[in-house]
Amino acid sequence: MTLTATDRPLPPLAPRAWLRYDVVSRIIDRLAPTTALEIGCGQGAFGARLATRADYLGVEPDADSFTVAYERITALGGTVLNAMSSELEPGATYDLVCAFEVLEHIEDDKEALAEWVTHIRPGGHLVLSVPAFQERFGPMDRHAGHFRRYSPEELTTRLEEAGLGEVDITVYGWPLGYALEAVRNRIDARKLAKVGDLTPEELTRATGRTFQPSGRLKGAVIALATSPFMALQRLRPETGTGLVAVATRLD
């Protein structure tokens, strides 16, 4: 039997990704984009879901992650390129541009946002996620190649400086995100002793491949175990470990 795109199982998500997707999916439902560009799509777990909702293009510079994403997303009708967003055709714009857990890996975040905005059609939207609150910066961030974390106020300022408006930010991850982050910090503190003098850029290339679940059964168990916490975090939309922002290109 040949599977159609709608019949194919979606890739599993890690617990933190489920918490994030709970916020993102509601935003996508509201925006209902026809075209979508994802910058830094990693192994394509979010991209596969977006590809069922819009004419989707994902770009991923890491060759290993790209290979996984290509297999997952093209089967659902989307397109994936092993490239940076700066290599896209000039002038190509989309209803939705998104970047999940990407901005914190880029040293010059102002320049990155300015470039991303050029790919949004006027009146279109940027949706992104980043880790929250610089005071929580720890071994997990250093091992992942993060340059920073953001407060809602700092992220709002960055988005407005890039020419975006109508900024709306949700803090997510309460209460499960705190426990997940504590575990990651303990694990990554040990790993940091082994990575030597790798740069944030070198660490970033591997981050999309770490702690990624595989297998339908494991994915189903994670989804089931995480679902109560997706409901709980909606009770505290100003408390948590991560931010999801949506903003509009005004010009």
User: What's the pLDDT tens digit per position in 20-64?
Assistant: 999 999 999 999 999 999 999 999 999 999 999 999 999 999 999
> What is the average per-residue pLDDT within 9-19?
94
Residue 9 within a domain: no
Q: Identify the CATH number of the domain in which residue 141 sits.
A: 3.40.50.150
Separation between Cα atoms, residue 205 and residue 31, nearest integer Å: 31
Residue 208: predicted pLDDT: 59
Residue 173 within a domain: yes
Residue 95 within a domain: yes
Residue 165 within a domain: yes
Domain that holds residue 68: 15-249
Residue 240 has pLDDT above 60, yes or no: yes
Mind listing the pLDDT tens digit for each residue in 177-206? 999 999 999 999 988 877 767 777 777 766
Give the C-alpha distances (Å, rounded to integers) separating 195 from 65, 118, 128, 180: 20, 36, 28, 22
Residue 171 within a domain: yes
Residue 176 within a domain: yes
Total tally of structural domains belonging to the chain: 1
Residue 210 within a domain: yes
Residue 3: predicted pLDDT: 47
Higher-confidence residue of 90 and 131: namely 131
Residue 207: predicted pLDDT: 64
Residue 186 within a domain: yes
Backbone phi, psi, residue 174, to 5°: -80, 135
